[in-house]
Structure 1
Amino acid sequence: MGTPFDCSFCMKITSAAFHISVSALSGLPEESTPEIVFAGRSNVGKSTLLNSLTGLKALAKTSSTPGKTRLINYFLINQEFYFVDLPGYGYAAVGQEQKAAWGHLLSSYIEERQSISLVVLLFDSRHPAMESDRAMINFLEFHERPYGIVLTKFDKLTQKEMAKTRRIMESCAAKAKFIVNYSSFSGKGKSELLAHLDHYIR
C-alpha cells in the first residue's frame, strides 16, 4: 500500500485558514495550487478529521446532522496548498434533486480538476466498503486519480473487528496508495497520514 510510514517525513502544518466555499465549478480557484481532496459518506467525520490534522478545533464546521456540507470548501494550508472538503455522499434524507446536484458537482470536480494531487477517502471502520464507498473507489480508479483511505472511528473496534475491516479494505481497494487507521479522539494515525500527504505535496 504505497511507501512505508516514516515519521521523519511528516508534514508540519504551521498555518491553516478557511479560503472559499463554492457551489459550482465556475467558482473554483485558479489551478495554480496543489489540492488534497477529502471525500466520504455524509457524517463519516471529514470535518473532524480536518480539525484534527490542523490542530484547529473550529477550522471546519462539524455537525451531527448528515448532509450539512453542501459546498466544496477550500482551506489554505501553510500558504502552499489546499485541503478541499467535498460534500458528503450517500445520505438518503435529502431530496433526489439535491442529491443529483451534489453528485454532479462532486463527479465533475474530480473528473475535470487538474490540480488534484490526491483524493483521501474516509470510510467508517465500523461499516467498511458500503455500496456507495465501493462506487467511489471504482469512480476514482476509472479516472486514474491517486487515492488513499482513512478508516475513521477505528478506536471503537475490537482487535478482531480491526483485522476484519483491514482485510475487507485491502481486498476492495487494492490500488489505494495507503490505508491509515485514524482516531480523531486519541490522535492515532495522525502522524502517519501527514507523512503520506507530504509525499503528494513535495
Structure 2
Amino acid sequence: MKIRSSEIVMSAINKSQYPEEGIPEIALVGRSNVGKSSTVNTLLNRRNFARTSQTPGKTRTINFYLINNEFYFVDLPGYGYAKIAKSEKEKWGKIMERYLEDRDELCAIFLLVDIRHEPTADDKMMYDWIKHFGYNCVVIATKADKISRGQYQKHISIIRKKLQLEKDEKVIPLSSLKKTGVEEVWNEIIKQYEEQGYEITVD
C-alpha cells in the first residue's frame, strides 16, 4: 500500500464533530498501552504521527486520520486503565457508544490485543460490543517481536479461545519494531473496504 498523504483532521467527542464527507472508516481500538499509536505509525511508515498520551487512559477523544484523501483510520480511546475513576469510564462508554451505534461510514473495527498475554475481560467486552453493533472484527496481536515465531500459533489459539472468535475472523501478529504483519494488515484493510463497496487505490 503506497501512502501518499496522511493527516489528522479531527479529534472529536460529540457526533456533531465527526467528518461529514461520507469517506469510509476503519476504527482501531484496544486497551491503553496496547500499542495503537505505534500501530498507526507503523502502517503509515511515519514516526510520531500518532502520538501516545503521556498519561495512560487520559485520551478521551476519537481521532480521525485521513489517508490518501480516500479513507480514515479512526483511533478510538483506549480502555482498561485501572486508575481511571468510574465517572471517567462512564464518559468513555458514552463516547464509544455514540460513535458505534449509527456510524454509516464505519466498515470494520480492528481490535488490538497484546500477543503475549491472554485477552482481558475488557477485551472480551469490547469484542462483544463490536459484534453487538454489527461490525466485522479483525484482531491485531501487537508486540509480536516479543515472542518467537514458533510461539505465534499457541498465543493466537489462546486469543481466539478467550475472545470466542468466529472461524472466519482473523488474528494478525504485528510488530512495529520488525514490521512483521504490516502487509497482511493492509490486505485485510483493503478487503474490508471492498466488501462494503468502496474502491481503494493500492498502488
Q: Normalised by the size of structure 1, how large is the TM-score?
A: 0.88
What does residue 16 of structure 1 align with?
6
1:59-81 Cα shifts (integer Å, max 9, x gaps):
11124632142200011000011
CA, structure 1 residues 31+176, in 2 after alignment: closer, same or farther (shift >3 Å)? farther
Query: Secondary structure at the residue paired with 1:112?
Result: coil
Q: Residue deviations 1:54-113, cap 9 Å, x none?
A: 111121112463214220001100001110000001112121111110111112211221
Coordinate RMSD, CA, aligned? 1.7
- Could you say if the C-alpha distance between residues 135 and 31 of structure 1 is closer, same or farther in structure 2, counting changes exceeding 3 Å? farther
Instruction: Give yes or no for contact 2:5–2:67 (8 Å, CA) kept in 1.
Output: yes
- When normalised by structure 2's length, the TM-score is 0.88
Structure-2 change in CA distance of 1:48 and 1:176 (3 Å): farther
Cross-structure match for 1:105: 95
Verify: 1:136 aligned to 2:129, yes or no.
Answer: no
Alignment of 1:40-51 (within 5 A): 40-51=30-41
What residue identity is the alignment partner of 2:82? A
1:88 matched to 2:81: no
Aligned match of 1:38: 28
State the distance in 1 between where 2:168 and 2:11 align: 28
**1:182 & 1:128 partners in 2: Cα distance?**
16
| Structure 2: runs of 5+ lacking an equivalent | 194-198
The amino acid across from 2:79 in the alignment is Y
Q: Secondary structure at the match of 2:101?
A: helix
What is the alpha-carbon distance in structure 1 between the residues aligned to residue 121 and residue 188 of structure 2?
26
CA contact (8 A) 2:10 2:63 kept: yes
Contact 2:152 / 2:173 at 8 angstroms: preserved in 1? Answer: no
Identity across the alignment (%): 38
Change (3 A) 1:176 1:29: farther
Could you give the per-residue CA deviations for residues 94-139 of structure 1, whole angstroms, max 9, x where no partner exists? Answer: 2111111011111221122111011010001112321011111111
Q: Which has the higher contact order (CA 8 A, sep 6+)?
A: 1
CA deviation string 1:24-79 (max 9, x = no partner):
22211115110010000111110110011111112111246321422000110000
Structure 1 residues 64 and 181: CA distance shift in structure 2, 3 A: farther
Deviates more, 1:63-72 or 1:135-144: 63-72
Q: Distance in 1 between matches of 2:79 and 2:62?
A: 12
